[in-house]
Amino acid sequence: METMRDRLIAAAIELLDRGGPAAVTLREVGRLAGVSHNAPYKHFVDKEHLLAAVAARELERQTDAGRRRSKGRPAGEVLQAMMQGYVRWGLRHPARFKLTFGAWSTDSAELAKAATAGRTAFVDAVVQAQAAGALPGGEPERLAALLQALAHGAVDLALSGHLSKTGKGHARPSDLVDDLFTYLRPLTRQQSG
């Protein structure tokens, strides 16, 4: 069953995809969902909480997609596949990505929960990669933070036009992810095939 709340979130995402952040107005969201321009106030305390719900939904879908990609894949490859999935998501949906990691002035419990769930799934993949000898040892949470920072930064810089798009230094975010694994793998004490 699709609640009005869900429909409002979906409408916001559609407007975001079509016209960028400026196109997401409560009035237009209401119009697209077939309700008045302040019906949203019965479901979200203000506009930013609607946007936080959008961000939470994106994060949840991204986490689910990552877990789905892991199934039936060798443990040594799962993490890299998750990171490449993250990169593809960011590059495919720039406005969603920028919104999700925007400058929140409010604390949304919903968004915080989705962020924690995503981090947990990611740390699990790091633990498996370490066990498979694809990553060096050490505190997995901390190594996870490093890997996530690289993937996130590569996408964010690319979307902002701060990655050189030409010449020898040309590197796509996905290349940088691969590079990092290339650097880290030799530091591993192989433990299993």
Partner DNA sequence: ACCTGAACACCGTTCAAGT
Residues that bind a copy of itself (CB under 8 A): 20-22, 94-95, 98, 101-105, 112, 115-116, 119, 123, 136, 139-146, 148-154, 156-157, 159-164, 167-171, 173, 175-176, 179-180, 183-184, 186-187
How far, CA to CA in Å, does 54 sit from each of 31, 124, 169? 17, 25, 35
Q: How far is the CB of 48 from DNA (least distance, A)?
A: 6
Q: How far is the CB of 20 from DNA (least distance, A)?
A: 13
| Side chain identity, residue 64 | D
* 46 contact choice in DNA, a copy of itself, none (CB below 5 to 8 Å, kind-dependent): DNA
* Phi, psi for residue 71 in degrees, rounded to 5: -50, 130
- Given CA atoms 123, 64, 58, 107 in this order, what sign does their dihedral have? negative
* 47 contact choice in a copy of itself, DNA, none (CB below 5 to 8 Å, kind-dependent): DNA
CB-count exposure of residue 144 (10 Å: 0-12, 13-18, 19+): buried
Residue 38 lies near DNA (rule: CB under 7 A)? yes
Contact assessment for residue 108 and residue 46, using Cβ atoms and an 8 Å cutoff: no
Q: How far is the CB of 149 from a copy of itself (least distance, A)?
A: 4
Contact footprint for DNA (CB under 7 A): 4, 24-28, 30, 35-39, 41-43, 46-48
